[in-house]
Structure 1
Amino acid sequence: MKLWLVDRLVEEEAARISPFDRGFTLGDGLFETLRLAGGAVLRLDAHLARLAAGAGVLGIPLPALDLGAALVVTAQANQLADGVLRLTLTRGVGPRGVLPPAVPTPTLVITAAPAGPALPPARLVIAQTTRRNARSPLAQVKSLNYLDGILARQEAARRGADDAVLLNTEDRVAETTIANVFAVIDGALVTPPVADGALPGVMRAAVLSEGAEARPLDAFDLAQADEIFLTSALGIRSVSAIEGRALSVFTAAARLRARIAGA
């Protein structure tokens, strides 16, 4: 595999990142997962806008290069027209301690992979081991630190589920470990607001543009939902069960997949 490292393509075997890179030592960085279809990166502008917003929150300068072109070049170098790209941006090498260097030298890595098989409808549980801190600035940032999500995903696996819904510290629904949550309740298509800890997902924004409403939800709301589905940059995934309650309606998800390109 070939990957983009800092400012050029390199072979995977030749790629070298310092053990003192803050992305490795502290999780000090950001990433974007992007879908590639027909040789084009879907929703590229939205992804780059979110990356820039996150970099602004963390104070990481963006590389002085055309990131869109670098993504396409990486896909082409791996002979991929359809698949998944991941862009990782760290603050780069820094001294010991938490305080970042005054003038960071960021590390950029772009990798490409074939698309996996279509996933079946997901089985969800509500995480008991961790909560989303909606008041943290990091709630709006796609950071490299995924430990809350990892703990919740491990819990889901132990409980025989595919993913876990994260509540915030006020018992409101935020998202799952890897996706935004949508529900059909009393005929309305709704999703948690970013103020409750939902990441501003690019596919979430596309579904909101189709008439969905952002409003606070809790576990009781999900227990009453006629349909639930998850959204990420890779598509829309229906939910077949939550906390053991079976769901058999997938109408809204199917309609949105038909309407939204790349869903």
Structure 2
Amino acid sequence: MSAIVWLNGRLLDIADAHIAPNDRGFLLSDGLFETIRVANGQTPHLARHLARLEEGCAILRLPSPDRTLLTQAISDLLHATNLSDGSLRLTVTRGTGPRGLVPPATPHPTVLIQGTASTMSVPAPVRLGLSRYRRDGASPLARVKSLACLLSVMSRMEAVAAELDDALLLGTTGAVAEASAANILFLREGRLQTPLIADGALPGTSRARLLDGGFCMEGRLLPQDIKTVTGAWLVNALSLTAVSGIDSHDLSLHAELDRRLRAFLFSA
């Protein structure tokens, strides 16, 4: 795959793609991103990602890039790079601005699209630990894919230092919210559930598809209820990963349910 990116309307070699030093995304994390799966040269769930991007832009009062422009940009980048399987990272910032917090009256967003090649493989099961960091489900920022990812970075670092694979964050409500970079599915009493948006869960695209498809329901899970969980999976746009345990609580692996979930999420 060629090292080519799409930046503000142009296909460029990555060495020639430059972001301005006074870009608010660089200085203030003032922007959003989407991670989009590519399969057989196509982006099967692009409409969901662009809809979420538009919703996030509205929350941040950030002009949303034209959907037709983004769709064509993605097509052009896939063609230029010959990317068949992997992912795209779509980043939108408020663009350049004067020093300080107040943005320019008429912002000119920076839009960057990058591709990464990868093969679709089944990840090994992971073990999670409860993090000391919390997500505020009452904050509008909990509902967008913000560039401000330090909470996730710090929780993942903490988990790795404890010789775990990932962190499970609680919300400010005290209930389970999500992992550092994925939603979570819990199997309880034979039924799948996923945490509430109000408890800090990001409205993930794969999470929404599973809810729409009737594979799971929303439900609140408190830390003391983890012992009632018999299985769990981390899920995002790119992967489904079985969870082998949460702190000292071991979980079973459910091969048939895993197969059904994986077929639904990634067969197209």
TM tier relative to shorter chain: over 0.9
In the alignment, the residues of structure 2 paired with residue 15 and residue 78 of structure 1 have an alpha-carbon distance, to the nearest angstrom, of 15
Query: Who is 1:226 aligned against?
Result: 230
Query: Who is 2:43 aligned against?
Result: 41
Query: Who is 1:15 aligned against?
Result: 17
Task: Give the alignment partner of residue 154 of structure 1, picking from 149, 157, 180.
Answer: 157
TM-score, normalised to structure 1, is 0.95
Report the alpha carbon displacement of residue 100 of structure 1 after superposing the two structures with TM. 1.1
In the alignment, the residues of structure 2 paired with residue 14 and residue 121 of structure 1 have an alpha-carbon distance, to the nearest angstrom, of 39
- Partners of 1:124 and 1:164 within 8 A in 2: yes
In the alignment, the residues of structure 2 paired with residue 235 and residue 244 of structure 1 have an alpha-carbon distance, to the nearest angstrom, of 25
* Sequence identity percentage: 43
Report the alpha carbon displacement of residue 244 of structure 1 after superposing the two structures with TM. 3.1
SS at match of 1:40: coil
1:253 aligns with 2:255: no
Query: Who is 1:196 aligned against?
Result: 199
1:140 aligns with 2:117: no
1:68 aligns with 2:74: no
How many correspondences in the alignment? 262
Gaps of 5+ in 1: none
**Consecutive aligned runs of 4 or more in structure 1 exceeding 6 Å deviation:** none
| Cα deviation code 1:2-31 (max 9, x no counterpart) | 000011111111111101000000000000
In the alignment, the residues of structure 2 paired with residue 234 and residue 133 of structure 1 have an alpha-carbon distance, to the nearest angstrom, of 25
In the alignment, the residues of structure 2 paired with residue 249 and residue 175 of structure 1 have an alpha-carbon distance, to the nearest angstrom, of 19
Report the alpha carbon displacement of residue 206 of structure 1 after superposing the two structures with TM. 1.4
Query: Who is 1:163 aligned against?
Result: 166
Give matches, 1:47-196, under 5 Å: 47-64=49-66, 65-115=68-118, 118-128=122-132, 130-196=133-199
SS at match of 1:181: strand
- Partners of 1:3 and 1:12 within 8 A in 2: yes
Report the alpha carbon displacement of residue 262 of structure 1 after superposing the two structures with TM. 4.4
Give matches, 1:25-36, under 5 Å: 25-36=27-38
Gaps of 5+ in 2: none
